[in-house]
Structure 1
Amino acid sequence: MSTARLEDRPAPGRVGDVRKQNLALVLRNVQPGVQTTRAQLAVETGLTKASVSSLVADLLGAGLLTEVGITRDGERGRPGVGLALNPLRGALGAEVNVDYLGVGVVDLNGNLRFQETVERHNSGSSPEDVLRALRLLTRRAADAASDAGILLLGGGLAVPGLVDADRNYVATAPNLGWTGVELSGELEALLPHSPFGVTLSNEANSAALAELWYGQGASFQAYLYISGEVGVGGGLIIDSRLFTGPAGHAGEIGHTVVQPKGPKCTCGGHGCLETFAGQEAIFSASDIGDGPTGQRMAQLLAALAEGDSRALAAVEEAGYYLGVATATTARLMNVAAVVLGGHFSLLEEWIRPALQQSVDGFAPGVVAPDAVAFSDLRQTAALMGAAGSSLRRALANPQELVP
């Protein structure tokens, strides 16, 4: 009677499907930055050692794994050859925001190997003009990756708006002035001929995932991510997965109404969180004049450090309304943690007290002080999340790379 394990027995006619699943299974058990061995993978996956050896050979050939030296599984037995995710495979991350363009290269171990951000006034510019400028940056990123010996498997583009990723379609991005924009050709041109192409995502959703994979969100299984830029975006992580709702637009906290009689918002409504906590709202309330965003933020931080009353009041008001929106979302979605990125992380010292006081007042005991985190990724979060999503597509579909 055969002693082969059930998981090693493919159903008739489905050998390819089983091998595809097993290739991905092996990869799921290789953690970024951590060495393992074939013997360890056999134990962790439940596959036979012979099957694991064959699968690893394919993954080495695909360039997703690399051999890294000699390791020991224990005190007895022969040493094994170490295995790790290949740092010479990566993905491109790109972001279009209202006042800047950003690109980066993230390798399979989650390391940001290259990053560039350029201030650019994109609001009101045509998508063609913006993507043309972005292509110059992505070419530099691709060249930097090539110089470092990194093969780019694919990429992702994050934009601040409601998107349909399946159609490469931006339904609306109010702060950019885009409505009904189809980007298939532009996405392909960002990284031509890459195995997994370039996909479109919402900026805040990508940043929320970056926090889960590479940042503060790793401490929480469920949290609300709030992105502070010219506007305010949001993403929801539930059970360590991005929750986007039926149409993919859940988490748009920036357009949660926090003051019904408040100012008009770019979305057409009134009193949205964005009108109190967005960059422009804080700059205006602080009496910070026009100019490049980086310069204006430096002026705001200097004013706060000097104890300027208008700047302090503006940031305190932003924190108060952030607390209103956070308390409402925390109760509605049953999340007990929040991670704040973008300009909120720069303003942590001054905005945290008002935020926490507001949350405690509207939702006592729901979000504890140690469950309020501020991002260390800052302006790289969205592009790292976009790149990370591309890498996970590659790891879930390794058969596409097997020679």
Structure 2
Amino acid sequence: MATAPALPATAAGVPGSMGDVRRSNTALVLGAVAKAPAGVHPSRAQLATATGLTKASVSSLVLDLLDAGLLREAGQSQQGRGRPGVGLELNPARGVLGMEINVDYIAAGLVDLSGNLLVHEVREQDNRSAGTGPVLAALAGLAGTVRAAAGEHGVEVLGGGLAVPGLVDPAAARILTAPNLGWANVTLEPGAVLPGAPLGVSLFNEANAAALAEVRHRPKEGSDFLFVSGEVGVGGGLVIGSELFTGPEGHAGEVGHVVVEPDGTGCSCGGTGCLETVAGQDAILAAAGIAADTRTRSASMALLVQALQAGEPAALAAVNRAGRYLGVALASTMRVVNIGSVVLGGHFAVLDPWLRAPLLASLGRYAPGRFSPEQVTLSVVGESGALLGAAGSVVRSLIDAPHLLQS
């Protein structure tokens, strides 16, 4: 398929115009480079074969992508018996910032266009006692530090993704409710965290972002699973066919607010007996007799692990209870969505040596025959999952619409 020169700007947005065709073909070429296996640098001729476009069209589109800084020539690419062509790769000198606001920390990381995490900074702080202004100001400072490090690596930051533990309206940059932060119906200015970035900053739910990172980094056969994020709250991300399923309003997967103890304690969401009231980080620490409010997140979890290793009854009972009720919630959830694989992240992954037995016993009791131990796995991305997923989503959006950076 041959392409034609782009139409003037006044016609570029007309459906079916030559401008639309060129934008679509540009995304096709960039996507083909992005899908190449690590270490493989396709040539223009190979891209023409892969996309079905003419060699002349591919050469023209590649020139645009080189000018936009999204591609880089990377040595020679062998093409069988013929002369080797010039290989192409996603430009490692371009990247995005993944950022996260959680209840007891903020984080920022530099991710290149190939999804590699180059810099990662975490700052522990209690965000429950602060409004959105101070928290965003602190995050802006941390993002500035990472952006400076990006400059030292020779990487230009194109934009960012921000993950928060709550229900969000990304189009309006609005947090509908983040009960563990005490935020509700708050409109943010995420671009202020990363001023001057051409793509701005997009907003994501923390568990959904982490689930997307699992899709990107875990084995290909893991295309259907429920990701469960263990933080102060408990979040969930539902993946079907390697795609995140969020439901009509974007809020599917909230496993942390499945009721597991109808006569239990009140939850920050306003309900009673939700999973996070027994399996959230603060709930487990309190039941184990560890005062989370007087220590940092990492120190509190370290004390809990030490108590478990020492066989302290209160700690063992707290984790056993959390695992049992996590099994109740998962058995109910997985019967509804008919997916038999679970990925555990956050403190659930850290506590797996003690959590797994009660969790599997609970699943065996409440969903007999539905789960095998191999179907309950641990996160492959760890604590960086949310920011990796947020950054990766921005990169994917750019690959789908590279014209956003083209003049």
Shorter-chain-normalised TM-score: which range?
Answer: over 0.9
What are the equivalent positions in structure 2 for 1:137-216 lying under 5 Å apart? 137-184=142-189, 187-214=190-217, 216=218
Q: Distance in 2 between matches of 1:208 and 1:62?
A: 30
Look up the SS of the partner of 2:108 in the other structure: strand
The residue aligned with 1:260 is 262
The residue aligned with 1:117 is 122
Q: CA deviation at 1:217?
A: 6.6
Look up the SS of the partner of 1:29 in the other structure: helix
The residue aligned with 1:49 is 55
Percent identity reads 54
- 1:99-138 deviations in whole A, cap 9, x for unaligned? 0010111001111011100110000311101111111101
The residue aligned with 1:308 is 312
Aligned residue identity for 1:81: V
Contact 2:226 2:237 in 1 (8 A): yes
Q: Distance in 1 between matches of 2:52 and 2:370?
A: 41
What are the equivalent positions in structure 2 for 1:382-393 lying under 5 Å apart? 382-393=386-397
Q: CA deviation at 1:35?
A: 2.1
Gaps of 5+ in 1: none
Q: CA deviation at 1:376?
A: 3.3
Q: Distance in 1 between matches of 2:351 and 2:15?
A: 60
My pick for the range that moved more, 81-90 or 272-281, is: 81-90
Q: Distance in 1 between matches of 2:19 and 2:324?
A: 56
What are the equivalent positions in structure 2 for 1:280-299 lying under 5 Å apart? 280-289=282-291, 290-299=294-303
Pair 1:368–1:46, CA change in 2 (3 A): farther
Look up the SS of the partner of 2:345 in the other structure: strand
Q: Distance in 1 between matches of 2:31 and 2:197?
A: 22
Contact 2:213 2:388 in 1 (8 A): yes
Look up the SS of the partner of 1:103 in the other structure: strand
Q: CA deviation at 1:228?
A: 0.5
Aligned residue identity for 2:28: L
Aligned residue identity for 2:151: S
The residue aligned with 2:11 is none
Q: CA deviation at 1:218?
A: 4.5
Q: Distance in 2 between matches of 1:67 and 1:366?
A: 50
Contact 1:217 1:339 in 2 (8 A): no
The residue aligned with 2:328 is 324
Q: Distance in 1 between matches of 2:346 and 2:362?
A: 20
Aligned residue identity for 1:362: Y
RMSD, aligned α-carbons: 1.8
Q: Distance in 1 between matches of 2:302 and 2:203?
A: 31
Contact 2:3 2:22 in 1 (8 A): no
Alignment equivalent of 2:28, drawn from 14, 25, 46: 25
My pick for the range that moved more, 310-319 or 160-169, is: 310-319
Aligned residue identity for 1:192: P
Contact 1:223 1:338 in 2 (8 A): yes
Kindly indicate whether residue 355 of structure 2 is the aligned counterpart of residue 342 of structure 1.
no
Q: Distance in 2 between matches of 1:257 and 1:340?
A: 19
Contact 1:153 1:391 in 2 (8 A): no
Aligned residue identity for 1:227: S
Kindly indicate whether residue 239 of structure 2 is the aligned counterpart of residue 237 of structure 1.
yes
Pair 1:66–1:193, CA change in 2 (3 A): same
Q: Distance in 2 between matches of 1:40 and 1:366?
A: 45
Q: CA deviation at 1:333?
A: 1.0
Q: CA deviation at 1:233?
A: 0.6
Pair 1:339–1:249, CA change in 2 (3 A): same
Contact 1:211 1:218 in 2 (8 A): no
My pick for the range that moved more, 312-321 or 23-32, is: 23-32
Look up the SS of the partner of 2:25 in the other structure: helix
The residue aligned with 1:273 is 275
- 1:60-102 deviations in whole A, cap 9, x for unaligned? 111111111112122x111111111111111111111110010
What are the equivalent positions in structure 2 for 1:96-115 lying under 5 Å apart? 96-115=101-120
Count of matched residue pairs? 394
The residue aligned with 1:38 is 44
Gaps of 5+ in 2: 6-13
The residue aligned with 1:60 is 66
Aligned residue identity for 2:214: E
**What TM-score results when the alignment is normalised by the length of structure 2?**
0.93
Aligned residue identity for 1:160: P
- 1:319-361 deviations in whole A, cap 9, x for unaligned? 1111111122211112121111111111111112222222222
Contact 2:4 2:22 in 1 (8 A): no
Contact 1:153 1:394 in 2 (8 A): no
